[in-house]
A and B are shown apart, each in its own frame.
Chain A
Amino acid sequence: AQKVTQAQTEISVVEKEDVTLDCVYETRDTTYYLFWYKQPPSGELVFLIRRNSFDEQNEISGRYSWNFQKSTSSFNFTITASQVVDSAVYFCALHTGGFKTIFGAGTRLFVKA
């Protein structure tokens, strides 16, 4: 079975705090891809990152960083020095064989000024 679990339903932080969004996935496939998408209040999902299962190197993009740990089946996302514009729902997603992408239920992030 393939599954993505985002255990944090909502997180609220104050601007400039760091925040980590958790993602745990399940798959028996050895080749798979993991994604993070952002859904701002306007509604359209926006791609943030793609990582394949053979590349465990962590990635940093500005204030965003991702920690991929195959040993714990996790692909966590950290926002450093959060800003009000980061307020959105963030989805972690898994793509294995075939064409189906499985999304987690999302984590709603509130960043207060």
Chain B
Amino acid sequence: GAGVSQTPSNKVTEKGKYVELRCDPISGHTALYWYRQSLGQGPEFLIYFQGTGAADDSGLPNDRFFAVRPEGSVSTLKIQRTERGDSAVYLCASSLDGVLPNEQFFGPGTRLTVL
């Protein structure tokens, strides 16, 4: 079966622009996570969805970052007024549910470069 997919794989943008990053989780997975991974670091938690609702958005660095999952499947991470410090690989992961911390299935990531 298909794994987690993320588009685009690479995104280059200019400082101040708006970007959207998309995640398609594994079908049937109700839990969805967004992480940010900088070079040489582990994934840093951003936000968690259980179904359509953001159950924990405590990792979003500031109000320029926002994520949605309107139908409980595909999710979009939105970054407004991008800054050079936003450059990183953005990872999406899904799991069967979030009741217990199950195995997370990760996508290949979107590499965001802000010039």
SS class, residues of chain A in contact with chain B: strand
**Contact at A103–B42, with CB atoms within 8 Å?**
yes
Chain B residues, Cβ within 8 Å of A44: 3, 106-109
Which of B11-19, B22-30, B55-63, B77-85 participates in binding chain A? Answer: B55-63
Given the complex of chains A and B, what is the CA–CA distance between A35 and B112 in angstroms? 27
Interface size on A, residues (CB 8 A): 23
Q: Which residues of B contact A (CB under 8 A)?
A: 3, 31, 33, 35, 40-45, 48, 50, 55-56, 58-59, 89, 91, 93, 98, 100-109
Q: Which residues of A contact B (CB under 8 A)?
A: 4, 33, 35, 37, 42-47, 50, 91, 93, 95, 98-106
Given A44-B3, A100-B48: 13 more A-B contacts, CB < 8 Å: A37-B106, A43-B89, A44-B108, A45-B106, A50-B101, A91-B43, A99-B101, A102-B45, A103-B35, A103-B42, A104-B42, A106-B40, A106-B42
